[in-house]
Structures are given as structure tokens and as C-alpha cells.
Amino acid sequence: PTANVELDDYVAPRFGVYATRTRLADGRTLAGVANIGVNPTVAGEIAPRLEVWLFDFDEDLYGQVIETDLIAFLRPEAKFASLEEMTAQIDDDASMARMILSAG
């Protein structure tokens, strides 16, 4: 599960994958990995958005305000041949993000 945030009037950084830290409304800060872009692997027109996977988190965030800091750029957004290939890359991205975030 991810927190999906439409970019609307926000200044959009470079499309791609980032190691992140996200502050929740209750003050907790959680590590994660995020994609900013249009998710070109999934068919259909999608407006640019931020999709954040918060590590070790399984709660409902609908309607809550979150603040996500982009800590490190991991790679540009990409279109994958299959959902399986995309999922494998996301797992690799998450491993890299965990390593970066644990070092800092």
C-alpha cells in the first residue's frame, strides 16, 4: 500500500524514485521510498503524483496531511515490460532506500 498524493499546484521535482522521510499528522516520521511521476507501466492517463511506500507501516492515511522529504534520488522513472519486472525493481529501490536512510 502507498500514500498517493496528486501534485496539483506543488512544484514537481524530477520524475523518478527517491528515498524519503514522511511526517504524519500525529508527528511520527517514517522512512520510505517514493515515485514521482505518471507511472508509465500502468495503462491509462494518470496525472503526475507522488506515491510513497512507508516502510513497516499499515494504517489508513486517507484525508490526512502528510509531509514527505526527498532525501536521495535513486533513479529516473521508467516504463517496465511487466508488473512483475516493476515489482522486482521496486524491491531493489526499497533496499537501496533503506540502506541510504539507515546511514544518515
Predicted local distance difference test score (pLDDT) of residue 1: 62
pLDDT category at 104 given cuts 50, 70, 90 is low
Please count the residues of the chain.
Answer: 104
At 38-80, the pLDDT tens digits run: 888 887 767 888 899 999 999 989 888 899 999 999 999 999 9
The CA distance from 2 to 57, in Å, is: 10
Measured CA to CA in angstroms, residue 5 lies from 36, 43, 49 at distances of 10, 19, 6
CATH number of 3-103: 2.40.30.30
> In the chain, where are the structural domains located?
3-103
Order the strands of the 49-54 sheet from edge to edge.
3-6, 49-54, 29-37, 16-23, 67-76
pTM of the model: 0.87
How confident is residue 9, by pLDDT bands cut at 50, 70 and 90? confident
